[in-house]
Amino acid sequence: MTLTLNFDLIARILEFIQDDFKLLANCSLVNSEFNLAASKLLYRRVVVSPKPESQQVLNLINPGAIPKNSNFTSAFSLRNKDHVLVLEISGSTSTRAPPRNTLPANITKALETFVNLRSVQFTPSTWNNQLFTTALPILPTLLFLDDLEVNASCLDEPNALSLSFISGLRRLSIWNPSRAILQLLPDRLDRLSVSLVDLALESNCGSVTPGVLKAILAHIKSNVRRFTLGLSYSLTNEDVFGFLSQLPMLEHLQLHYYWQLKPPTAQPNLRSLQFFKATFSQNQMCTKVAVFHLDKWIRQVITRSSKLEELQLVPSADPEDYISPISHTPLIEHICARHANIRVLSLRGAFINATGLKRIFSTCLMIEELSALVGSDCLTILATHKTSLLHLHTISFQICNTPRPRRYKVARETVERLMNEAPFVLRRLTVNQTLWKVRSIFKSTRLISG
């Protein structure tokens, strides 16, 4: 008897391998049902992201060819074009002008062909000024478009005018917003005031001033639930905290920290906040005073956020480059005292000493994911608290206070013993970039691979 699988079941199964494109391609060869389910995942996101030219001299004869590893060309087939939901144009695109550069025409054709597009990302690092000239006027005609991410390649005067006619967006992300585009932003947000729930001003936001925040506030305070603000030396903590306090619906927040001489007089009232991500320059965290001020700033942001579920602390440099980091003890104490129900704690740029790690494991019993810089005794501490950590399924430790942290190894037997002992639910453990994970569970047997 031949066993047949329901298409919906196949689709759900393949979602577990949605990032393994080679395996998805193999699955598409099984039969028509597998082909359809795999194709939906393979072509859900179409990306054109050329790598930088290896030559030091600018290549002026680059015709804007599609990279060989891109799924862009095959997405145009009748079988695949309706599966495309996301179109991303990024990387080092050709600076050659059309028609010699064929990429602008291909992008325009893509917007006309992929009628189900929900998200468009135009963020190349190099480009010709006419790259999106013919493509942008098509965006307002896309019926399902609700997510737009752009940078300076789309924000010159004629292109910005085309963007003004887009309505119905739920998310708008602008990288390195210039003064010119910020002057137009209030009018754009007024058109999106009913639908927009996510506004992101990313990276270099030096042109964002207190006046800009005041101008956009009226258009976003009623509906916006997610807000991102990059680095702006034009703003003080007082300006930012005052602005955030007037966003009562805010649930998701990302800010960039820089040290300021004058402390704010009030803390933001973010009672609905569930997610906070703080980015900072790692090379500035070389003293205890600097770390203390960073921790204090984070505490000020989240202190009234009793619903906080996830906290991320992300450095601008690779944490493993810092062999003797400074412990973020004040921040850990605050989390354990005020946010003990936190579920995700991603502190890739923060060192947690043994006392702090024990405090987290004994206090934050609902924690599901943890990543941090730690000492070499981290697994011993974990083993002593595993019986109470009933929800912790993912851990990433960077051991950094050993003579040669890059070469630090953990015995496989130690990991297997730790992950096999009930009632531990740990499924993924990373130590210094070495990953162990549970491949399958059958009765009491857990197969560990690493």
Higher local confidence (pLDDT), 184 or 441? 184
Q: Is residue 379 part of a domain?
A: no
Higher local confidence (pLDDT), 11 or 403? 11
- Whether residue 56 has pLDDT greater than 70: no
pLDDT in tens, 222-248: 999 999 999 999 999 999 999 999 999
Q: Is residue 5 part of a domain?
A: yes
Q: Is residue 330 part of a domain?
A: no
Higher local confidence (pLDDT), 285 or 95? 95
Based on the structure, what is the number of domains in the chain? Answer: 1
Give the model's pLDDT for residue 446: 46
Give the model's pLDDT for residue 61: 57
Q: Is residue 415 part of a domain?
A: no
Q: What is the pTM of this model?
A: 0.89
- Region for 91 from its dihedrals, namely left if φ exceeds 0, alpha if ψ lies in -120 to 50, beta otherwise: left
By DSSP bridging, strand 428-431 and strand 434-442 are: antiparallel
What is the rounded CA–CA span in Å between residue 104 and residue 44? 21
Q: Is residue 3 part of a domain?
A: yes
Residues 125 and 91: beta-carbon distance below 8 Å: yes
The pLDDT > 70 percentage for the chain reads 90
By DSSP bridging, strand 86-92 and strand 344-351 are: unpaired
Q: Is residue 95 part of a domain?
A: no
Give the model's pLDDT for residue 22: 86
Range of weakest confidence among 71-85, 104-118, 251-265, 436-450: 436-450
Q: Is residue 270 part of a domain?
A: no
pLDDT in tens, 248-261: 999 999 999 999 98
- Mean pLDDT to the nearest integer, 85-112: 94
The closest of 148, 163, 162 to 118, measured between CA atoms, is 148
pLDDT in tens, 199-214: 999 999 999 999 999 9
Query: Which residue bears the tokens 């009930």?
Result: 422
- Region for 199 from its dihedrals, namely left if φ exceeds 0, alpha if ψ lies in -120 to 50, beta otherwise: beta
Q: Domain limits at 29?
A: 1-42
Give the model's pLDDT for residue 1: 43
Considering only CA atoms, give the Rg of the chain: 25
